[in-house]
Amino acid sequence: MRLLSENGEQLGIVPFQSALSQAQTKGLDLVLLNGSANPAVCKIMDYGKFKFDSIKKEKEIKKNQKVSVLKEIQLSMKIELHDMQTKAKHGNKFLENGDKLKVVLRMKGREQAYALKAVEIVKEFFALIEANGTIDKQPEIVGRNVIMIVTPKTNK
């Protein structure tokens, strides 16, 4: 097997028993890094410390990660301009926080006959939040609903 020292130096190709005895004399562990390689690659290290450091790095990565949440805003066919502006203000806050936005317009009863008008209302709503988001899924009629998904714009 190919053996690496605790500070990463290559010690060459060594038999398993010899590598194990070197690790034991230093009071460390013999850890298999790549078993599929020919010859296998092992390293002399303190496995407990290695495991602790890797868990610490994973926690740090998770802490710095931003989880995107899907927020929903519901509209209706009879929504007035000021009400739409108020909902757009909330939608802009969601997009600025990095969350996706699902815009749903529910049609009741005879309103379903005017589905194209519902799509226009959803597009008017998008015009109010266009500065902070881009359309991920175009307005689509699904049963009684018109659904559109907006993702936040990335600042590069």
pTM more than 0.85: no
Residue 98 reports pLDDT greater than 90: no
86-123 in b/e form (b: 16+ CB < 10 A) is: ebbeebbebbeeebbbbbbbebeeebeeebeebbebbe
Enclosing domain of residue 129? 70-152
Q: Which of 10-14, 29-33, 145-149, 151-155 has the lowest mean pLDDT?
A: 151-155
Beta strands per DSSP E along the chain: 2-4, 10-13, 29-34, 41-45, 70-76, 100-106, 133-142, 145-152
CA distance 107 to 34: 59
In whole numbers, what is the pLDDT of the chain averaged over residues? 90
Confidence at residue 103, expressed as pLDDT on a 0 to 100 scale: 95
Last residue of a domain, one of 24, 40, 62: 62
Q: Which CATH number does the domain housing residue 92 bear? A: 3.30.110.10
Kindly state whether residues 58 and 78 are assigned to the same domain.
Answer: no
Per-residue confidence (pLDDT) for residue 155, from 0 to 100: 63
Q: What pLDDT, on a 0 to 100 scale, did the predictor assign at position 7?
A: 85
34-89 tens-digit pLDDT: 888 888 899 999 989 889 999 999 998 888 877 778 999 999 999 999 999 999 99
84/126 same-domain check: yes
Structure tokens at 15: 């038999």
In this structure, of 5-9, 110-114, 142-146, the range with the lowest mean pLDDT score is: 5-9
156 confidence band (pLDDT: 50, 70, 90): very low
Same domain, 42 and 105: no
Q: How many domains does the chain have?
A: 2
135 burial level (CB within 10 Å; 0-12, 13-18, 19+): middle
pLDDT band at 147 (very low <50, low <70, confident <90, very high): very high
